[in-house]
Structure 1
Amino acid sequence: MRYAFYFAPCADAPLSQTAAAWLGRDAFTGIEHPRTAETDFPAEELDALTADPRRYGFHATLKAPFHLAEGMSEADLLAEFAAFAAKTAAFEVPSIIVGQLGPFFALLPETLHRPLQQFAADVVETFEPFRAPLSEADVARRKADTLPPSQRQNLLNWGYPYVFDEFRFHMTLTGPVSDAQSPAMANVLNLRFADFIGRPLRIDGLALFVEPERGAPFLVHSWLPLKAAQQNG
């Protein structure tokens, strides 16, 4: 069993529902959604292009997947989770857009938002005592030797390369898309997520996801509202 702390809107939020339909699976329920074709993309091709984010479920990574450290229990983790959510105030990212991180499409903040960076850092640090050290296989899987020095150090210290100064909030919508297909994919996603683009994203909760066994689809174990938060939608 691996655990991960992700941002995800609550289960019945319009953004969660739209993203689940796009990815083809709802991580809150495990229910799969039938794939439909889009302009320039047959259903089978879209299924392949969304396979990786579909397994993880719609989310933004804060604390990357980890095994529990020796001496720590799920009950311990849940208690700290509840305490963190109760004392951490909700806030808004001013505007989100469809953008790219390399060949991947995702929902991104339109500009860097410092409260979001701090929130992510707080999650990383708070739950670090619960994370078992990475195995040699995990480090190799991350291709540590190919990472820039700062990211490699983050991986070794925190279990994930993209934390603190290297963190960039993103809610992944596709796997790698070729340069030739990128303009068409951008058009499809801007239409699909038109109701959310250029509008605030409320960071009003935190989700604990679980991977029951290595390679299995991730599921939401629990979702807790942040302090004084109102659910999206």
Structure 2
Amino acid sequence: MEQPSFLEFFMNRFPDVISQTITHLQITGLAVFLAVLIGVPVGIFITRNKLLARNVLGFANIMQTLPSLALFGLMIPIMGIGFNLAVFVLFLYALLPIIKNAYTGIVGVDDSLIESGRGMGMTNTQLLWMVQIPLALPVIMAGIRIATVINIGTATIAALIGAGGLGSFIFRGISMGNNNLILTGAIPAAILALVVDWILGLVEHRITPKGVRK
């Protein structure tokens, strides 16, 4: 029996692809949202203490260097399998670029601008919100974009622990030796990463002050 072309194969499974893409987005989106919610404030806070910055960034580096599959395995006895585990592990993976870029963006603001703000009578809080954060936004957003793209790829492994997503097609295709099935998961995941990165680029352009835009 002749094997169907990839396009025919893909269209036959299109409803499943849409369903798993939504799941993939939910896992990645929630993980990155939590990482931004925690990572950006942490990155800003540690700019006030160099020792704390070294410790926090060191911990985030350790989380990043652990193989994702090993981290999933280590957390299964604690959290079980499924959606929550996938979100938690991806959250840990997203922390490093977000914390590091928030930290780098804030400490990278020219000291002369901060001194000028102080000369105008600004408090530390006003300097943070009116000078440092606006100037650091491109760097902060770069960290968020990196974390998101990395997580979209890493989230394919979540299928191994029962969380679903586009990795379901990939691992099923590997076990069956079916290239069409592998591509049915891999191609949408790659397109998803490109589209989300493009959308975040538009958001970055929109929220960055005109004088800071590149």
TM range (shorter): under 0.3
Q: Higher relative contact order at CA 8 Å, sep ≥6: structure 1 or structure 2?
A: 1
- TM-score between the two structures when normalised by the length of structure 1: 0.24
Q: Which has a greater percent of strand?
A: 1
Could you state the TM-score of these two structures normalised by the residue count of structure 2? 0.25
Question: Structure 1 or 2: larger helix share?
Answer: 2
